[in-house]
Amino acid sequence: LKVIASAPGKLMLFGEHAVVHKHPCLVTAVDLRVQVSLEKTNDQSLLINTPHLNAEGRSISIPFDELFNDDLNTPNVKFILASIKNAFSKFNIRQGIRIRTSGPVNSYGLGSSSAVTVATIFAFLTLFDIPFNNKLLFDLSYASVLDVQKLGSGFDVASAIYGNTIFFQTKQDPEVLKTDYLPLVIGYSGAKVSTIDLVQEVEQKRNEIPEIIDLIYETIGKITKRARTAILNNDWKTIGKLANINQGLLDSLGVNTPRLNEPILAARSSGAFGAKLSGAGGGDCMFAIIDENSRSQIEEAIEVTGAKVLHLGLNAEGVRLEK
């Protein structure tokens, strides 16, 4: 028996960094999907195949007795292993499994390790006929992500599960927004330093001047709440204004870069309602909120700065079975 699950990538719209401190964020799922296939075997081990491993012409086999003292650095494998380990422990299962993943070659910082994690846990629960709801799926997936990267708000886990566009806040059920259209242009500015490093850098700043940084987080939280209402009202002009203010605050946290700033300014001066970076900062993506009539001129202005315009489906479906 083989089970294949897939989960979407994500684009953070509002609230990054502040969400780590219990403020809300808004995130939309993107159609960069990761597939994970699980199949029972008669071995006493896990057999793992990922695109990265395939490119190196190898797969990884981990006997159960080595499962709990691994040190593997292959992309995504840590997240798969953490997921299986947590699921094995929680349901007291030991079963040989063949695990295969596939997905986009380049995910531009949007295809998250949390998508791999969520798809793995979803496939596992299905393979072993374990009844579950979104909360159990979230708790197991989030615990697995934290096992690997130690910190993170869990917004990306929620996005991979719920898909669509969600309003997310720690320890609360995400709200799926009733919207199926977002007029955005997404630009990729280039690779960045790790999210963990950026979160820690900002955290360091907060330790030094908490009374200022906490006010910034609070304001970002308020912007996010206003943006939620504006999205529900299709009020793109207001969303653009809010994006610009949020961008200023992210800049003040020190996570803006010239390569992000250039396409952001170019988009604004060629007619976008507003533009900001998306995610931890330091590189990766920016997006602009636009009027469809000026889409092509804004895309062009972004590309002139050297950023790459990404054509992605937004409001993508959350985790699902493929077979």
The site for ligand MEV (CB under 6 A) is made up of: 12, 16-17, 19-20, 152-153, 155, 195, 199, 279-280
Distance, in Å, from the CA atom of 61 to the CA atom of 46, rounded to the nearest integer, reads 6
Nearest to ligand MEV of 88, 168 (CB atom): 168
Q: How far is the CB of 281 from ligand MEV (least distance, A)?
A: 7
Q: How far is the CB of 247 from ligand MEV (least distance, A)?
A: 14
Q: Give the chain's largest Cα–Cα span.
A: 61
Task: Give the residue numbers marked as catalytic.
Answer: 156
Nearest to ligand MEV of 26, 99 (CB atom): 26
Nearest to ligand MEV of 171, 178 (CB atom): 171
Q: How far is the CB of 158 from ligand MEV (least distance, A)?
A: 10
Residue 172's SS3 state is coil
Q: How far is the CB of 217 from ligand MEV (least distance, A)?
A: 11
| Two tokens, residue 150 | 């130690």
Residue ranges of alpha helices (H) inside the chain are: 51-55, 77-91, 113-127, 134-149, 155-162, 195-208, 210-232, 236-253, 258-269, 295-304
Burial 24-58 (b: 16+ CB within 10 A, else e): bbbbbbbebbbbbbbbeeeeebbbbbbbebeeeee
Nearest to ligand MEV of 140, 145 (CB atom): 145
Q: How far is the CB of 199 from ligand MEV (least distance, A)?
A: 5
3-state SS, 275-322, equals EEECCCCCCCEEEEECCHHHHHHHHHHHHHCCCEEECCCCCCECCEEC
Nearest to ligand MEV of 102, 149 (CB atom): 149
Burial degree of 211 (CB within 10 A; 0-12, 13-18, 19+): exposed
